[in-house]
Each structure stands twice: as C-alpha cells, then as structure tokens.
Amino acid sequence: MIYAGLIFSIVFPWLCGGLVLRCLLGGRCRFPLAVSGALSLFLGWGILTHGMLLLQIAGLPLNLLTAMLPALAAGGLAWRIGRGQPRSGAAPAELLPMPEEPLISAAGNRTRLLWLAFVAVTGYLAWWILWRTVNIPIYGWDSLATGMFTAKVYFFDGNLDKQPALPYPIYPLHVPLLTVWTALCTGGWHDANLKLLFPLPLFGFTVVLYHFLRSWTRRVWAVIGILCLWSSTLFILHGSITYRDLFLGCYNCTALLLLAVWMKNRDTGVLITAALLTGMASFIKLEGIMYLFIHILLVGFLCWQGPQRPRLRQWLSAGIFAAVSGGILLFYSAYKWSAGISTVRYAAPDAGGILSRMPAAFDAFTDALLWTPNWNITWIWLFFSLTFHLPLIRSDARVRFFSLALILFLGAHFAVSVVLGISQNIISPFTISRLLLHFFALVPVLIVLINAQTWAAAPSPREAGND
C-alpha cells in the first residue's frame, strides 16, 4: 500500500504537469518523452504545492483529496486549452536530436568499452543514491531543524496555521509541502519512505541536461557533460539527503537551459515554461528570489541581443517572463504578508566593513571552488576553457549567455557575502558549496559547449602555429 502511494505521489503531479506542458508547448517544441517527463514532473510539483498553499488561503483543510483539487483543476484547464492545439508538429532544428553516431569516431571495442564504463559508473552511483535514500532516514541538520520539521507540523496539523510560529517562517514551502503530499499519499509519516522524493530532481535533470547537450554537440560530449555533473560528489550526495538545494539547482538550471532554447527559437511556450520554473524556484529557497531577478536580467539581455525584430515584441517577451515568474513570487509573498510573516529577510548593509570582508570572502570562495573535492576539477577546467577561448564568448551566443549567467550568480553571492552583515554565515565552506550547487550545472554546460567546438575541427595552420 505504501509503495502504491509512493507511485501515485509521483504519477499524479507528473500527469498534471504533463498536461500543462502540452498546453504550453503544443506541437511546436516536442521534446523526447524522457525530457518531457522530467519537465512535467518539475512543473507538476510546482502546481501541486502552490495549490496546497491556495487551500490554506481558502481556509480548506489539507488532506489527500483537497490537495489534489487545485492541481486537477489546473491540469483539466490545461487539457481543455491544449485540446485545440495541433497534436503534432515539426520540432525546431534547435531541439532536434542529432543523427545517431558512435560515441567516438573510431567505432569498435573502444566505443563499447567507453559506453560500458559510463553506464557502469553512473549506474553504480545511481544505485548508491537510491540505496542511501531508502536505507538511511532523514538526518541532515537543516532538514530536522527546519524543512522536514515544518513538513511534519503541516502533516499532523492538516493546515499551515502554525507557520508564523515555526522556525524561519520566511522560508519558502515547496519542498515541505511536497513532503506533506508524499506523506498524505503513503498514509503516514515514514522518515525513510518520504526520502524517495529527493533523488527524482537529480535523475530528471540529468535526462534534461543530456538531451540539451546532445542536441547542441555530439554524443561523446553529452556523455562527458553528464560525467562532469556526476563527478560532483556534493551533487550526488544531495540526491540522497533531504535538503532543498538540489531542487533549487535543478529548477534554476532547467529554466536557464530552456531560455537558451528560447534564445534561438523565440517560442512563447518555451519562454513561459522557463518563467514558470523560475517562479517555482523562488518557492524552494530564498536564494530563488535572487535568481528570479537574475533570470529577468538575462531575458532582458537576450531581448537586447536578439535578432532584429520589432522592439516592442521583444520587450513584450521580457514582460511576459517577468509577469509569470514574478506573479508566482508575488503569490507566496502576498500569502506571507496576509499571514503576518515578514516577506524579506533583512540584513543591514554594513558599508564600513566591505573592504575588510572582501579578502576573507574571496579566500572563502576560492577555497570552496578550488580546494574541495566537491566539484572534481570542473571549475578549473572551466576557467582554462574560458580563458583560452575569449573570442568564442563573443561569437557563440550560448556560451555568452551561460557565461553571463554564471558570472551573475557568482557575483551576486559574492556581493551578498561582502556587502551584508551576514557574511560570516555565507563564507563557511559548507554554505558556499551549497550555494554553488544551485548553478553548478552551468559548469558542465559551458565546458562541453566550448570544448566540443575546440575539438570539432582541426584548427587552421595559422591557429596551430604554422604561420
């Protein structure tokens, strides 16, 4: 019965999200089934948790039946709207998978050996993640102190009434509410079973990333990209614990990948899907609010850089993105305001200490980036890749977009740690590593995009130094 409940807890939001995704993308941008499945799950989770928040605002009790109602309504509405759209259509070239090709050009035993190694390593790590998820109960400090404690209170109370009195009431509720949903489906609070929710974003995002890298480069580079991602021990560890950082990282980076698609095809459905994911990310952690503003900046940048179109139409796209993602943020902010919960976590800027904090913050960031085994050597690899390919940043729109995004994310966290008086909390290696996890997936993306081009064709004699 518990396992049936667990399956239902995944299938229901997946179906609702799938209907919304179909409504948004229609036949214009069909992704492969696995990618659509992952995107549907991400969207469905967000719809479900916002629906649960809506129940609280409406004063309805929180139980399995009522929790399903808003998501069902959203799915039904999306189905109704999507029914009128064409069932099939040509996917834009941007998203078409490349023709099948061997992993490396010299097909044969070597190819099979590489595939075998890749499948063995990722399969082993996936097994470890699942084993750990199922066998080790919730244990993380933040989980027991805030996230899972909050979820447990909501589950036993059947409402969110105690939120103002809970520890850190300002924290967003996506993951606690998802946990409540899983507990409602399984019929009780089981510390081990509830964890099955947490590796799903990791697996879903891996599928999404592989597809996009495969579409943009060759298969061998898509494989290297996934290896880069999974070489981060922190990334895979977070798949087996009940922290919210991995959720935020997956939503944040999936939205950026979709924006990179939108950059080329300018499909409003893709833009709105990205906006929904961005808005939902702001419901996962407070950092998501900062990322939302960064995403709006990036969309503005894409509009400014985009092909010559009527200006008004371009800025209308930015307006749509800001309205959709900001609307989701405002929904939760309005709830907090009405419930008497502070909507911002204010830390007074301490201008006098900026210069004195800067070296310490810089030191802490370089330590977290370069001297932890959390990321393998991916940051160093990225640094060299960018340094030796500066012209590529100017000429390749995707490289430029992801580089800018990465600089904005890093810069924002560095600025926060230096400017605000909360720097001591941020610059502990543990915290910085978790913050980096929110956008770490951009590192493999950039490494792959740059290196795939470098090795795609032999450089001219002049480039090789024969001039």
Partner 1 sequence: MFIMINSEPDHNRFPFPLVRAAYMVILTAALIGLFPLIFPEGLDAVHFYNEIAPRPTITGIFRTRLYGLLMIALLLSSLLLTGGLLAWRRGRPSPRAVYRYIIGPVLLTLFLVLFSVQTLRHPVFFIREILTYADQPVAQRKIKLFGDAYEHALLIRARYPGYRVARIDSDFDFNESLGMTFHRRFSYFLYPIDTRTRSDETAPELIIFTRKAGAISAVPPGYRADYIIDDRNLVAVRKENGS
Residues that bind partner 1 (CB under 8 A): 104-106, 110, 121, 124-125, 128, 131-132, 135-137, 139, 141, 144-145, 148-149, 152-153, 156-157, 162, 165-167, 190-192, 224, 227-228, 231, 233-234, 237, 367, 371-374, 376-378, 380-381, 384-385, 387-391, 429-430, 433, 451, 454-455, 458-459, 461-467
Segment (H or E) for 194 = none
Decide whether 224 or 420 has the Cβ nearer to partner 1: 224
Decide whether 352 or 462 has the Cβ nearer to partner 1: 462
Q: How far is the CB of 369 from partner 1 (least distance, A)?
A: 11
Q: How far is the CB of 185 from partner 1 (least distance, A)?
A: 18
* CA torsion angle 282 283 287 290 (round to 10): 20
Decide whether 7 or 192 has the Cβ nearer to partner 1: 192
Decide whether 227 or 323 has the Cβ nearer to partner 1: 227
Q: How far is the CB of 58 from partner 1 (least distance, A)?
A: 22
Decide whether 28 or 152 has the Cβ nearer to partner 1: 152
The runs of H, that is alpha helices, within 187-244 are 200-216, 219-230, 233-238
C-beta contacts of 56-64 below 8 A and 24+ residues apart: 56/159, 56/160, 56/335, 57/335, 57/338, 61/158, 61/159, 62/154, 62/158, 62/159, 62/160, 62/180, 62/184, 63/158, 63/184, 64/184, 64/185
Decide whether 425 or 454 has the Cβ nearer to partner 1: 454
Q: How far is the CB of 112 from partner 1 (least distance, A)?
A: 14
Amino acid letter for position 208: V
**CA distances, 314 to each of 94, 301, 322 (Å):** 20, 11, 13
Q: How far is the CB of 409 from partner 1 (least distance, A)?
A: 20
Q: How far is the CB of 421 from partner 1 (least distance, A)?
A: 20
Helix pair 200-216, 442-456: axis angle to 10 deg: 20
> Distance between CA atoms of 366 and 383, rounded to whole angstroms?
12
> Distance between CA atoms of 78 and 350, rounded to whole angstroms?
48
